């Protein structure tokens, strides 16, 4: 496979960024105790970072999903898109803020069925919706609704897909370094170890 192109733009910070990048970074710095490398990369296009932050906040505040469900949606999308940075970040958020059970997070990271049937339905539908490019089958929607979700939830999954496309793709083209706070849940070694195990144990 051809190696993808990596942008040469710098990771900006409040001291080096010009306006309006600084304004976008200042907004991002209000969301936590440090400025994530992902924000520093995205700030090279201030509209990208600002739109991401707005959509992310609206999903967190308005979607009607619980914090645990929100993390399932974000982790499902990020894993399917192969975003090492976002899987690591959302795994740590799942552990420390959203309180998603570790076995659920680990199953998401390994691409395995979730031990919670409702969350498994949410992850399955999110993945289906992504892979079908927003054209879910009737059967998939009926299964999703039968799990207790609503058509409004589908619209907020579109919002989650939108913001994760921005962050996942930005991380791809920057090969964004995982911040130390997220390294406890780095995905790369875990993912490749899991794939190797599956290859060895897979039935013929």
Domain-wise residue ranges, the chain: 10-62, 66-201
Q: What are phi and psi of 150, to 5 degrees?
A: -125, 170
* Residue 20: cis peptide before it, omega within 30 degrees of 0: yes
Q: Collect the ranges in the chain with pLDDT lower than 70.
A: 1-2, 32-33, 188-204
pLDDT per position as a tens digit, 32-51: 668 999 999 999 999 999 99
3 state DSSP class of 106: helix
Q: What class does CATH assign to 66-201?
A: mainly alpha
Question: Distances in Å between the alpha carbon of 23 and those of 11, 38, 80, 138, 187?
Answer: 15, 16, 32, 44, 31
**DSSP code, position 3:** P
SS (H, E, C) 119-184: HHHHHHHHHHHHHCCCCCCHHHHHHHHHCCCCHHHHHHHHHHHHHHHHHHHHHHHHCCCCCHHHHH
Confidence (pLDDT) at 2: 64
Single pTM value for the model? 0.89
Give 56: exposed, middle or buried? Use CB within 10 Å, 0-12, 13-18, 19+: buried
Q: In the numeric block, which tokens belong to residue 143?
A: 């299964």
Using alpha carbons, select from 65, 128, 71 the residue that is nearest to residue 105.
71
């Amino acid at each position: 496979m051809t190696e993808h192109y990596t942008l040469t733009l710098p990771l900006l910070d409040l001291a080096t960024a010009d306006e309006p990048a600084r304004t976008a970074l200042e907004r991002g710095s209000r969301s936590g105790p440090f400025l994530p490398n992902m924000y520093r990369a995205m700030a090279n296009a201030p509209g990208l970072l600002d739109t991401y932050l707005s959509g992310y906040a609206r999903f967190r505040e308005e979607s009607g999903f619980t914090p645990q469900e929100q993390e399932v949606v974000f982790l499902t999308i990020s894993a399917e898109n192969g975003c090492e940075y976002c899987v690591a970040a959302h795994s740590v958020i799942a552990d420390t803020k959203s309180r998603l059970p570790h076995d659920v997070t680990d199953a998401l990271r390994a691409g395995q069925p979730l031990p919670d049937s409702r969350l498994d339905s949410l992850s399955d539908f999110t993945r289906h919706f992504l892979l079908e490019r927003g054209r879910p089958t009737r059967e998939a929607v009926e299964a999703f609704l039968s799990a207790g979700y609503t058509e409004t939830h589908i619209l907020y999954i579109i919002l989650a897909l939108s913001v994760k496309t921005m962050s996942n793709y930005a991380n791809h083209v920057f090969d964004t370094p995982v911040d130390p706070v997220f390294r406890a849940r780095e995905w790369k070694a875990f993912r490749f170890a899991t794939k190797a195990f599956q290859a060895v144990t897979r039935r013929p």
